[in-house]
């Protein structure tokens, strides 16, 4: 199931060209787009049992500051 960030990343640039948003709205939208992406960095998770690796991207922590 797609998350809001996935939808913003896919369709945000085109949508922003069609509507007027305040600076605050643009900042929030940008933070959501960067959330859990390479833009904020991340770390590698490695299973000690099977050695499978997975990248876990950092969150923007928007929920904790709003």
Please write the tens of the pLDDT for every residue from 35-55. 777 777 778 889 989 989 988
pLDDT, residue 66, reads 42
What integer is the mean pLDDT of 3-18?
Answer: 93
Q: Answer whether 0.85 is exceeded by the pTM.
A: no
pLDDT in tens, 13-40: 999 999 999 999 999 998 888 877 777 7
Q: Which of 22, 37, 35 is nearest to 62 (CA)?
A: 35
Contact 57, 42 (CB under 8 A): yes
d(CA 32, CA 11): 13
The domain locations on the chain are 4-65
Strand ranges for the chain from DSSP E: 42-46, 53-57
Residues in the chain: 66
């Amino acid at each position: 199931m797609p998350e809001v960030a996935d939808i913003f990343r896919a369709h945000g640039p085109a949508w922003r060209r069609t509507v007027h948003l305040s600076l605050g709205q643009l900042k929030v939208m940008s933070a959501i787009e960067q959330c859990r992406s390479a833009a904020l960095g991340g770390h590698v998770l490695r299973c000690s049992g099977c050695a499978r690796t997975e990248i876990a991207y950092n969150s923007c922590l928007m929920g904790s500051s709003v």
